[in-house]
Amino acid sequence: MAPTPNYSDIATTFCSALLPPTPPSLPIRDSLRGQLKAPAGFVTLDNGFDCPLPGTAESTKATYGAYQLAMNPETGNSSTGIVATHCVLIPGTHKVLLFSRQINTDLSPTEPGMANSVSSVYDPYAGTYVPTPMPEHPFCAGHSHLRDGTIIVTGGEEPGGAKYSWLKEGRKSIRTFNPSTLQWTTLPQLLNSNHWYPTQLTLPDGRVIVAGGSKTQTGPPNSETEIIDTRTSPYTVSYQVLDLPRLPNSLWIAAMSSMASALMMPFRPDGNGGYTISYAMFGGSTSRNQAYIDPDGNYVRLDWGCNGLIPALDKSLRLTLDAKKVMAGDTSGMAFEQEDMPVKRIQHAAILLPNGQVLLINGNQYGRGGGGLNGGASDNTAAKNAVLYDPMAPKGARYSCLAASNIKRFYHNAALLLPTGDVLVSGSEQDEPGNQMCQPPGAYLPQFQAEIFKLPYAFAVRPAIVSAPTGNIVLGDLFQVEYKGSVNGATLAAPGAFTHSTDMGQRVVFLRVVSNVFNAVQGTGSLVLQAPCASSLVANPGTWMLFLLDGTIPCVNASWVKLTVPATDANRIVSTHTVRAGLAHRSSRALLGTDAVCDSSLGNPSRLADPNTCGSFLFCCDGRAYPVVCAGCDPVSDSDAGRDPRIGCRLDVTPPIKGSLRRELVAPAGFVTLDNGFDCPLPGTTESTKTMYGAYQLAVNPETGTSSTGIVATHCVLIPGTHKVLLFSRQINTDRFPTEPGMATSVSSVYDPYAGTYVPMPMPENPFCAGHTHLRDGTIIVAGGDETPNSWLKEGRKSIRIFNPSTLQWTTLPQQLHSEHWYPAQLTLPDGRVLVAGGYRNGNGAPPNPETEIIDTRTTPYTVTYKVDDFLVQAGYSNLYPVYLPLPINNPAKPGTYYLLQWDNWFGKISTIAPDNSQAQVLDLPGLPNTNWNAAMSSMASALMLPFRPDSNGGYTISYAMFGGSTAGNNVWIDPATGYPVQLGEANHAAAFKCERSMVPSFTDIAAVFCSALLPATPPTPPSPPIRDSLRRQLVAPAGFVTLDNGFDCPLPGTTESTKATFGAYQLAVNPETGNSSTGIVATHNVLIPGTH
């Protein structure tokens, strides 16, 4: 049977027997990525992710981040003093408290000063550690922070034995660490029972939970939950909680014993006065549990060694909880969402970042949790690449691979967030098993080196906090932060306390922004934020890191703030943190002193009525009323229209939506939708759109009513100290066009764009396609140019002229360039020297000019030197106006040496120019992502240095950009016989030249026409389908399915039983008595009889 078309746009096949078997369909991301080859310095994983290899180039840091070894500059060593099994951030500092067990001194020596200590205070930026003796063995204890910043540590390990007799019993111990004195104190109280590997967390009211673990190294497990009441005296309690749904994979083992990393995702305001609640687990073991209780109640522990080939999981899970359902004991709709990670991981760390993203770091790809011979026989194949998880991205696009480390971090590794936004990486206690199955004796590798992982945002322009509250911030109160840079959000991050893939107290809370006033002139702003309500329970009283955000880029350094519980005087109006006068909308005038009472029946939090309704309202939180000021109201009518009822503020205008979604929309009147989905205004847009889209205004001379610059503005140079411009070009073709008044024998004018007038400026040497720059005194210097076209325009290719901005006069210097330069690059160096580079010797087939010449304007008269530039030699035929840009890089080791960015059509370099005018190439720039992109002047892209912005290190950001360009090949080539460039327009290349010159569009986003006369015949290209269908069409339908032309996968007849819940099923209606299926008549009309089926 031949295929039968079904409607005009769909052609499918109805005969499943004729269809060839097809492999299962991959996710869109993986299917497309699998067709690509990883670039140099990267590896493509089986699931399609491209991940950087260790030692990625400097240029990739802003995309993939970088590992930086934490070094002590005085000793040149990197050491934390002790293996960082436990890593706790000391509040108010960037230092960390580390502790572990005594290392096996038979296999590895202790670090200096640590012979009788298993604890140290480590400074990751100084690379130094200080021993902090702790007598009770703390290995595999629990730890958390108290409200005042004190670190409390419970449980631990058995005594150290004869060899380490100075280590006392620690399994029932309770110790505290003072962040001010950096001293340990052992409390007289003990836990009720032994806890080795317990879970510990601090509750909002200050009580500390210690739960589970094991009573000894060989069992049994400890089933007790103990509570230390830091307000009174210790007591213990047991309780039950709501059962969570089962995991989707029965082989997924996700507790610490199998070393997944689990955390609460960032708390974000949900718009209803509460916060989103989401729990996530990343990776883990695929092996079964390591211990079980036999039928007689005995604890049986499985062998912990020889597991080096058990693969870890490359999955993650998220569970979103509804607070009301949890309180009601309702599990309906509660289910885990599963996602694919780029790298299999076990025994790793999941770190909440200040922007709400999650960093996965450390660990290994094979094995299972727990240690073994000499510290962990089960580890194999380090997971060296850090991975970023963005919970706000669409599913399938949330993961990305980051930089890789050269250091393997296996069991007993640690990581935590620092106040700088960096992540400290440390620890690990063994190497991979030599035979991939069992750890051989002696393969013990205590890792004392630490690294600082710098996220990609560390290399971006980041905002900075200028001032933040130094006193207590009452939960629920408003507080003010001054900043510089760009800021649009804020978060609180709890200090980390990490061990064994867990940190029970890890929290990031997004704050409500009440107002944000920015001074564009000064580049500073003032932000009013609201601390979370105490009753929300998302932020415990205590010390937190306050980060400001520019999108997903956090500030350079967090400010430490202290959150405290509110006073008991309910219903009071809080005005201590109100917005400063003049910073917010004027309607804040009525907030202070407003008499309002919080009604608990309205819910918490809730919005109260406000007598002054424009742009402000009262927010009820924990029985108190808070003023909130919002921008966006009409200051004349004080209208409440357009306000967002969730937060009381007017909604901003919805920004344009780019890309594929716009293709499905009809452009509004006065706009056109381009092929790539952007809506662009048509000419003559209405007056009302000027503030959003700008406007073109014809520059007109009001006296004559005409608009003219006098000469075609090929060259346009602003005259310093004025708004006038110097224009020059070549003589126009008077056989076709008349000259403008007064310009018969002039190719230069001074033009006033606001008066619409020009004044001829005679210039004898032909300046067409010359180079030009400003000198220090505002003089304009012009070098090179064109040949002699007529009697009054002289040869200009070697000329050097200057234009005086005060007298508005040209002067031709007696000095000349060494050789002809037509279309040269020209720039002024910081010391006043002028560089003239490249171009052609003439426009009639002469070879390109490979010389760089230096005009030294510091001497009298000016002197000119030259040399052959290797970059120009490599550029060859395409060095018409090559890109030469000065970089703000000052190398103290090379005073007076300047760095230059050089770029030609498809390649670029960084080079230096020394005080003696000698040049040297420093490095090659990365290639363009598209080999058809021709981006120098010869192919007419526009290139520039983006604005220099101060960075956090006293320097400036350096960013180079190219916009547009040609998709065609180059217009010239070098004849190997003569070494001369040959234009494609000459001789037998005439047809090709005509085609390229006239038919190839000069925009990279528009498909080029490739001259059908010169290329093999190709069928016409059909219209581009929507992105969704375009991608789907490239996938292979899974077995039992067919992919239609529009990209949809549809089941074939006879789909299996397992697919019914997803795709439904046809069931033949059969009379069980006769075995027949018949309606008696063809059912042209079908009408349901009411009250029946």
pLDDT tens for residues 62-72? 889 999 999 99
pLDDT on residue 614: 34
- pLDDT at residue 594 greater than cutoff 60: no
pLDDT tier at 777 (50, 70, 90 boundaries)?
Answer: very high
pLDDT tier at 249 (50, 70, 90 boundaries)?
Answer: low
Rounded CA Rg of the chain:
36
HEC sequence for 837-892: ECCECCCCCCCECCEEEEEECCCCCCEEEEEECHHHHHHHHHCCCCEEEEECCCCC
For 30, the 3-state DSSP assignment is helix
pLDDT on residue 1015: 32
Nearest to 98 by CA among 53, 57, 151: 151
Distances (CA, A) of 485 to 325, 488, 526, 580: 42, 10, 11, 20
pLDDT on residue 630: 37
pLDDT on residue 8: 31
Residue of higher predicted confidence among 589 and 497? 497
Average pLDDT score over residue span 265-276: 82
How many residues are listed for the chain in this entry?
Answer: 1093
pLDDT on residue 604: 41
CA count, 13 A, side-chain hemisphere, 1082: 1
For 826, the 3-state DSSP assignment is strand
Burial of 979 (0-12, 13-18, 19+ CB in 10 A): exposed
Please provide residue 167's backbone torsions phi and psi, each rounded to the nearest 5 degrees: -95, 110
pLDDT on residue 1047: 58
Q: Angle CA(153)–CA(154)–CA(159) in degrees, nearest 5?
A: 110
Give the contacts of 944 (CB within 8 A, at least 6 positions apart): 885, 960, 961
pLDDT on residue 1032: 37
Residue of higher predicted confidence among 1093 and 1022? 1093
- pLDDT at residue 769 greater than cutoff 60: yes
pLDDT on residue 1016: 36
For 581, the 3-state DSSP assignment is coil
pLDDT tier at 365 (50, 70, 90 boundaries)?
Answer: confident
979: left (phi > 0), else alpha (psi -120 to 50), else beta? Answer: left
Nearest to 506 by CA among 202, 256, 257: 202
Give the contacts of 371 (CB within 8 A, at least 6 positions apart): 304, 377, 411, 412, 429, 430
pLDDT on residue 840: 85
Contact by Cβ (8 Å): 284, 313: yes
Burial of 723 (0-12, 13-18, 19+ CB in 10 A): exposed
pLDDT, tens only, 108-137:
889 999 988 999 999 999 999 999 998 899
Give the contacts of 505 (CB within 8 A, at least 6 positions apart): 144, 145, 201, 202, 494, 496, 497, 540
HEC sequence for 85-130: CEEEECCCCCCEEEECCCCCCCCCCCCCCCCCCCEEEEECCCCEEE
Write out the E strands in 235-383: 235-236, 261-264, 277-282, 291-293, 299-301, 313-321, 336-345, 349-352, 358-361, 364-366, 380-382
Contact by Cβ (8 Å): 101, 70: no
- In this structure, of 410-419, 614-623, 658-667, 814-823, the range with the lowest mean pLDDT score is 658-667
**C-alpha–C-alpha distance, residues 276 and 269, integer Å:** 6
pLDDT, tens only, 461-510:
999 999 999 889 998 888 999 999 999 999 999 999 999 888 888 999 99
pLDDT on residue 258: 54
Contact by Cβ (8 Å): 519, 586: no
In angstroms, how far is CA 1045 from the centroid of its own chain? 36
- pLDDT at residue 374 greater than cutoff 50: no
- In this structure, of 4-13, 221-230, 348-357, 492-501, the range with the lowest mean pLDDT score is 4-13
CA count, 13 A, side-chain hemisphere, 250: 0
Of 36-40, 403-407, 883-887, give the range with the top mean pLDDT.
Answer: 403-407
**C-alpha–C-alpha distance, residues 327 and 907, integer Å:** 63
Q: Angle CA(299)–CA(303)–CA(305) in degrees, nearest 5?
A: 150
Print burial letters for 966-975: b (CB count within 10 Å at least 16), e (below 16).
bbbbbbbeee
Supply 770's token pair. Answer: 């010359």
Residue of higher predicted confidence among 783 and 688? 783
Distances (CA, A) of 727 to 568, 752, 795: 74, 11, 19
- Give percent above pLDDT 90 in the chain: 33
Of 439-443, 747-751, 904-908, 1029-1033, give the range with the top mean pLDDT.
Answer: 747-751
Nearest to 780 by CA among 715, 831, 731, 838: 715
- pLDDT at residue 244 greater than cutoff 60: no
Average pLDDT score over residue span 909-929: 83
What does DSSP say about strands 624-629 and 863-868: parallel, antiparallel, or unpaired? unpaired
In angstroms, how far is CA 433 from the centroid of its own chain? 36
pLDDT, tens only, 319-335:
888 888 888 888 888 88
pLDDT on residue 519: 87
pLDDT tier at 4 (50, 70, 90 boundaries)?
Answer: very low
Distances (CA, A) of 972 to 24, 838, 880, 1036: 49, 16, 11, 43
Average pLDDT score over residue span 813-823: 92
CA count, 13 A, side-chain hemisphere, 993: 12
Nearest to 520 by CA among 487, 552, 491: 487
Average pLDDT, the chain: 75
Please provide residue 655's backbone torsions phi and psi, each rounded to the nearest 5 degrees: -70, 160
Nearest to 546 by CA among 456, 630, 455, 482: 482
Of 206-220, 281-295, 414-428, 683-697, give the range with the top mean pLDDT.
Answer: 414-428
Handedness of CA 880, 881, 884, 885 (dihedral sign): negative
**C-alpha–C-alpha distance, residues 1036 and 24, integer Å:** 7
State the DSSP code for 558.
P
pLDDT tier at 685 (50, 70, 90 boundaries)?
Answer: low
Nearest to 465 by CA among 486, 489, 481, 488: 481
For 514, the 3-state DSSP assignment is strand
What does DSSP say about strands 559-564 and 472-474: parallel, antiparallel, or unpaired? parallel
HEC sequence for 705-718: CCCCCCCCCCEEEE
pLDDT tier at 250 (50, 70, 90 boundaries)?
Answer: very low
Q: Angle CA(1027)–CA(1033)–CA(1034) in degrees, nearest 5?
A: 100
Nearest to 285 by CA among 344, 220, 361, 197: 344
In the block, tokens 């007064």 appear at 742
- In this structure, of 123-127, 132-136, 449-453, 1008-1012, the range with the lowest mean pLDDT score is 1008-1012
The residues pairing with 773 across neighbouring beta strands, listed in sequence order, are 781
pLDDT on residue 564: 93
Contact by Cβ (8 Å): 291, 300: yes
CA count, 13 A, side-chain hemisphere, 349: 35
